[in-house]
Amino acid sequence: MNQRFNLPEPSPELYQKIISRLKREQKKAASLKAIIFLFISLLAGGLVIFGVYLLIETLNQSDFAQITSLIFSDYQTVGTYWQNYTLAILETAPLLPIAYLLISCLIFLLALKKGLLDLQKLILKYQ
């Protein structure tokens, strides 16, 4: 069929060039993916530090520490009025900073896991 239309024959090393180019592009995409996830985990680590700071500041401003210390100093009264005590703890607990800290920790751990797994695949596959 090539003789009929006088089409040029591809060079014998064309297949190898195509495969090497595809491998190079896959390696570039995998390294970019690993770098992005590691950068996201770095940003989420900063959010975790901010979340800890926010939680400490909120705990200092609320009466949560004083109410929880009541368990150790006057446990009989707490046992008697445990329902009111539980409601008081729930009212003074800094739930928003706790939720923020937990979510940022989750994002940090998931991004770090994904980034490290991609980096491991990149190292093992393209040595």
Enter the pTM of the model. 0.75
Dihedral angle, C-alpha 98, 109, 36, 97, nearest 10 °: 0
Closest CA to 51 of 113, 97, 95: 97
Domain boundaries, the chain: 23-125
DSSP annotation of 11: P
Give start and end residues of each alpha helix (H) in the chain: 2-5, 14-61, 64-73, 75-80, 82-92, 95-125
Using one digit for the tens of pLDDT, what is the confidence trace for 36-56? Answer: 999 999 999 999 999 999 999
CA 79/CA 85 separation, integer angstroms = 9
Using one digit for the tens of pLDDT, what is the confidence trace for 64-111? Answer: 888 888 888 988 998 999 999 999 999 999 999 999 999 999 999 999
* pLDDT of 113: 94
